[in-house]
Amino acid sequence: MKKYLPLLARCPLFKGIAGPDLVSLLECLSARHKKYEKDSFVFMADDEPRFIGVVLSGALHILQDDFWGNRVILARAEPGELFGEAFSCGGVKKLPVSVQAVEKSEVLLIDLTRIITTCSSVCVFHRDLIKNTLQDMARKNIALIKKMEHITRRTTREKLLSYLSSQAQQQGSTVLTIPFKRQELAEYLSVDRSAMSAELGKMQDQGLIRFNKNRFELLQKN
């Protein structure tokens, strides 16, 4: 766990808490360090939402399956990012999503009750944790609004252009790397993978983009 302290100090949940204070706080919270193999599940849909998690290494997908087994990737969590906080704080009795490791991963799990129940020794940090959790949920709500901007576009091309444009703005460059493989991107945008791949090919032929795997370049229209 010691090697992850610099990462945790940069995590939104622990903003403003570092060094010995962070070590003391983790002990107070009884934080659990867990390891997961690729494709294993951290949380399953219908689990009780008790824990807030922090990705220490690897990456996770927050997934939702419908009645027929069609899967949508709602979000991706990478090292230093939180997951599960909205459902733990939201008062739902069962998780409506699953959280799956997309590669070998390590996470830190914290029982929500340990965060909201203050103690005499580090109560000031508990207040910081609650404030930081609320700020992170607000940030993710903004990210969800951005996703809705993509998936509510009418056509596959419009969804792709919206997403790639957003990523270019976020990364500050017309040359960008996206975090998804093709199937993952199709699930994230709620489109058919074959139709999406065909559309990407057309967009490249028409001089709108260049791409190789998950690296893209946005081109000016002639």
Domain count along the chain: 2
Question: Do 71 and 13 contact (CB within 8 A), yes or no?
Answer: no
Judge if 109 and 158 occupy the same domain: no
**Cα–Cα dist 222/219, whole Å:** 9
- Output the pTM of the full model: 0.74
Q: Which domain holds residue 205?
A: 153-218
Question: Residue 101: its pLDDT value, please?
Answer: 98
Segment 124-147, tens digit of pLDDT: 677 788 888 878 888 887 888 888
For 58-190, list the strands marked E by DSSP. 60-65, 71-77, 82-83, 98-101, 105-111, 175-177
Domain at 107, CATH number: 2.60.120.10
Express each pLDDT in 178-197 by its tens digit.
999 999 999 999 999 999 99
Alpha-carbon gap, residue 87 to 67, rounded angstroms: 21
Residue 147 lies in a domain: no
Answer yes or no: do 29 and 109 share one domain: yes
154-177 per-position pLDDT tens digit: 999 999 999 999 999 999 999 999
Band of the pLDDT at 203, cuts 50, 70, 90?
very high
